[in-house]
Amino acid sequence: MVWRPDELSTFWRFVAERHEIFRCRVLLKEPPPWSGDVILNTVKFTNIYRELDRTTRVLLAALREPLSEGPEAPDILFNIVKFRFFTWPPTWEALGGYHPAAAWD
């Protein structure tokens, strides 16, 4: 694959602009529009960093307490897989949220 500098520059401008939209929308809680780009203002895109996605933030919050008690790797991995299988916080809650793997029926 050959990288063309103009395309690479366009890609990194998109990454920076998309992250700035997240910052304005979520962190600063500014009203729209968050960009001068019509497409970025009207089309939904995933966040540049997965850790910033709403569902990932729910998962990380659910793991915060269990991780503070000690890294029980099988239970943490089990719960991450359970969460990511559905990737919808209401389903995660309906399944009882965080549970040790051995407690799963």
User: In which domain, by residue range, is 58 found?
Assistant: 53-105
Do residues 104 and 57 both lie within one domain? yes
Shared domain for 44 and 69, answered yes or no, is no
Residues 62 and 44 in one domain: no
**Which of 81, 78, 84, 85 has the alpha carbon at shortest distance from 99?**
78
pLDDT at residue 103 tops 90:
no
Same domain? 40 vs 77:
no
**Do 95 and 61 share a structural domain?**
yes
What pLDDT does 104 receive?
Answer: 74
Domain count, the chain: 2
User: Do 99 and 74 share a domain, yes or no?
Assistant: yes
Q: How much is the pLDDT for 21?
A: 94
- Using one digit for the tens of pLDDT, what is the confidence trace for 28-72? 999 999 999 999 989 988 888 888 888 888 888 888 877 777 666
pLDDT at residue 6 in the model: 85
Q: What is the pLDDT of residues 12-29, one digit of tens each?
A: 999 999 999 999 999 999
Same domain, 65 and 103: yes
10-27 per-residue burial string, b: 16 or more CB within 10 A, e: under 16: eeeeeeeebeebbebeee
